[in-house]
């Protein structure tokens, strides 16, 4: 009888796999650690576990402790036109959803009014960050909110634009909140407060640092140098290494992307750090192992290196892989910046398209690539080339950009499944072997 009870308890208790509690995964390195995942889709396509309707937004979902957290924007007035130079005025509500990861059932919803005056105003940009019992959410107009993950109750709120007298960037506040220990780091803007550190439990300011034309769009990134932590920050003028406890600047390297589009996170590659954006504005930085210093190794050109828009790069061995501004998935030699190959197969399949993208996630010996076309691709990437294993359409690209329909939201991978969204729905698709 006892054995039967034990078996029934095991059957009734959900068993969750690897969580994806923040943007690009648990370690923010675009690596999915679960095993038992597909190398090829079943005949008839992958199994859709559930779909739920949501409204617009670029923010990806986060998955933690059996829950999915995602944000959207319910527009009530105004015309959301994607004009790169315009800032349409909209009225509506930013919303935070908590869903049951297994079924898509809504657990709670938190919303607040948000008047938009930004370019590409679909909705929030930043993926929620889940740490323990708290979830941290940044809205497109700078509203930073800490909620209880189990109920949606507000713990604290900070309006970055007001508190730091920070102008809203053209494309809104985009910096995915970073939590390390008791501190939360976020790009704010304003005089002397391009980046700020807040107490993650109270929202109280701990320090502020740097002045830039605006905050840019790049999340702060924790890197490790000779066993010591440094906070890597990229605003539209330069990359900085900061003391994460005080905000003191340790080093800086000039890097000015076009249109102030500092978007992609600094990505550590051993004792090196790669930071890049459009057009061909990339730099590989050598980090000193003996003192808090850094120096430039090489810079991207139109023939070498990379100038990605919004898809993070992934290092594997002596190379890294990423998507260049026109949609070219490329392999780059870390030591030299030499471009080993490039292909449009993961994005447009044919030719250059402005800001064409695909989001790369490494899982074992293969990559899961979420293309802007709404297709999920399984592929092997090596220094010698691109080998596509399979692909399947899992979302309809329904967001307009440069005259084409796209999906521009980084998915989450957890529980041997992908959680992905467009401007109409959030879908969970099984990737279990």
Burial of 289 (0-12, 13-18, 19+ CB in 10 A): exposed
Angle at 343 between CA 342 and CA 345, to 5 degrees: 160
pLDDT at 227: 82
- The answer to whether residue 71 scores a pLDDT higher than 70 is yes
Residues facing 93 on adjacent strands = 74, 113
HSE, CB side, 13 Å, CA atoms: give it for residue 92: 26
- Read off the pLDDT of each residue in 332-337 and give the average, rounded to a whole number: 98
pLDDT at 1: 41
pLDDT at 267: 98
Render pLDDT for 322-331 as a digit per residue (tens, 0 to 9): 999 999 999 9
pTM of the model: 0.94
**Out of 22-31, 96-105, 164-173, 285-294, which region has the weakest mean confidence (pLDDT)?**
285-294
- Read off the pLDDT of each residue in 281-293 and give the average, rounded to a whole number: 92
- The answer to whether residue 10 scores a pLDDT higher than 60 is no
Render pLDDT for 371-381 as a digit per residue (tens, 0 to 9): 999 999 999 99
Domain 19-154+410-433 sits in CATH at: 2.40.10.480
What does DSSP assign to residue 37?
Answer: B
- The answer to whether residue 7 scores a pLDDT higher than 80 is no
Q: How far is it, in rounded angstroms, from Cα 418 to Cα 61?
A: 10
**Which residues make Cβ contacts (< 8 Å) with residue 3, sequence separation at least 6?**
none
pLDDT at 17: 58
CA distances from 160 to 69, 142, 155, 207, 208 (A): 22, 5, 16, 14, 12
Angle at 84 between CA 83 and CA 88, to 5 degrees: 50
Burial of 365 (0-12, 13-18, 19+ CB in 10 A): exposed
Render pLDDT for 243-284 as a digit per residue (tens, 0 to 9): 999 999 999 999 999 999 999 999 999 999 999 999 999 999
% residues pLDDT > 70 (the chain): 96
347: three-class secondary structure by DSSP: coil
Q: How far is it, in rounded angstroms, from Cα 213 to Cα 159?
A: 19
**Which residues make Cβ contacts (< 8 Å) with residue 45, sequence separation at least 6?**
392, 393
315-407: CATH topology: Lipocalin (2.40.128)
pLDDT at 290: 84
- The answer to whether residue 15 scores a pLDDT higher than 50 is no
**Which residues make Cβ contacts (< 8 Å) with residue 4, sequence separation at least 6?**
none
Binned at pLDDT 50, 70 and 90, residue 8 comes out as very low
Binned at pLDDT 50, 70 and 90, residue 13 comes out as very low
Q: Where are the domains positioned within the chain? A: 19-154+410-433, 315-407
In the block, tokens 């800086």 appear at 252
- The answer to whether residue 18 scores a pLDDT higher than 60 is yes
Tell which wins on pLDDT, 115 or 13.
115
Render pLDDT for 189-223 as a digit per residue (tens, 0 to 9): 999 999 999 999 999 999 999 999 889 999 999 99
Tokens found for residue 318: 């002596």
Render pLDDT for 134-189 as a digit per residue (tens, 0 to 9): 999 999 999 999 999 999 999 999 999 999 999 999 999 999 999 999 999 999 99
Angle at 150 between CA 147 and CA 153, to 5 degrees: 35
Q: How far is it, in rounded angstroms, from Cα 34 to Cα 98?
A: 23
pLDDT at 88: 93
Tokens found for residue 227: 């066993």
Mean per-residue pLDDT of the chain: 94
- The answer to whether residue 6 scores a pLDDT higher than 70 is no
pLDDT at 83: 86
- Cβ atoms of residues 318 and 324 within 8 Å: no
- Read off the pLDDT of each residue in 98-114 and give the average, rounded to a whole number: 98
């Amino acid at each position: 009888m006892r054995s039967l009870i034990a078996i029934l308890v095991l059957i009734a208790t959900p068993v969750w796999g690897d969580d994806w509690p923040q943007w690009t995964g648990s370690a923010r390195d675009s690596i999915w650690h679960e095993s038992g995942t597909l190398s090829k889709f079943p005949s008839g396509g992958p199994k859709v576990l559930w779909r739920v309707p949501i409204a617009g937004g670029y923010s990806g979902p986060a998955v933690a402790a059996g829950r999915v957290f995602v944000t959207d924007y319910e527009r009530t007035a105004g015309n959301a036109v994607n004009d790169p130079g315009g800032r349409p005025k909209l009225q509506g509500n930013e919303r935070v959803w908590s869903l049951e990861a297994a079924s898509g059932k809504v657990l709670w919803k938190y919303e607040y009014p948000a008047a938009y005056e930004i370019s590409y105003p679909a909705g929030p940009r930043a993926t929620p960050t889940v740490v323990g019992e708290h979830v941290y959410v940044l809205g497109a107009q700078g509203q930073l909110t800490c909620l209880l993950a189990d109920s949606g109750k507000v713990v604290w709120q900070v309006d970055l634009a007001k508190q730091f007298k920070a102008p809203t960037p053209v494309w809104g506040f985009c910096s995915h909140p970073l939590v390390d220990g008791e501190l939360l780091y976020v790009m704010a803007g304003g005089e002397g407060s391009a980046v700020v550190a807040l107490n993650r439990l109270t929202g109280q300011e701990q320090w502020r640092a740097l002045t830039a034309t605006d905050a840019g769009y790049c999340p702060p990134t924790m890197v490790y140098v000779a066993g010591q932590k440094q906070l890597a920050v990229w605003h539209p003028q330069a990359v900085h290494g900061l003391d994460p406890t005080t905000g003191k600047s340790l080093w800086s390297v000039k890097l000015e992307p076009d249109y102030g589009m500092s978007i992609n996170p600094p990505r550590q590659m051993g004792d090196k750090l790669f930071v890049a954006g459009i057009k061909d504005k990339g730099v590989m930085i050598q980090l000193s192992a003996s003192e808090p210093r850094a120096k430039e190794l090489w810079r991207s050109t139109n023939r070498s290196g990379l100038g990605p828009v919004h898809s993070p790069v992934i290092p594997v061995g002596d190379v890294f892989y990423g998507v260049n501004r026109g949609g070219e998935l490329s392999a780059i030699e870390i030591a030299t910046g030499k471009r080993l190959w490039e292909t449009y197969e993961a994005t447009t399949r044919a030719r250059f398209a402005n800001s064409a993208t695909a989001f790369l996630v490494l899982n074992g010996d293969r990559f899961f690539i979420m293309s802007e076309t709404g297709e999920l691709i399984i592929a092997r990437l090596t220094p010698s080339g691109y080998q596509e294993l399979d692909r399947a359409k899992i979302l309809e690209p329904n967001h307009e950009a440069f005259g084409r329909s796209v999906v521009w939201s980084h998915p989450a991978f957890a529980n041997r499944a992908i959680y992905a969204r467009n401007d109409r729905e959030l879908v969970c698709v099984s990737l279990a072997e």
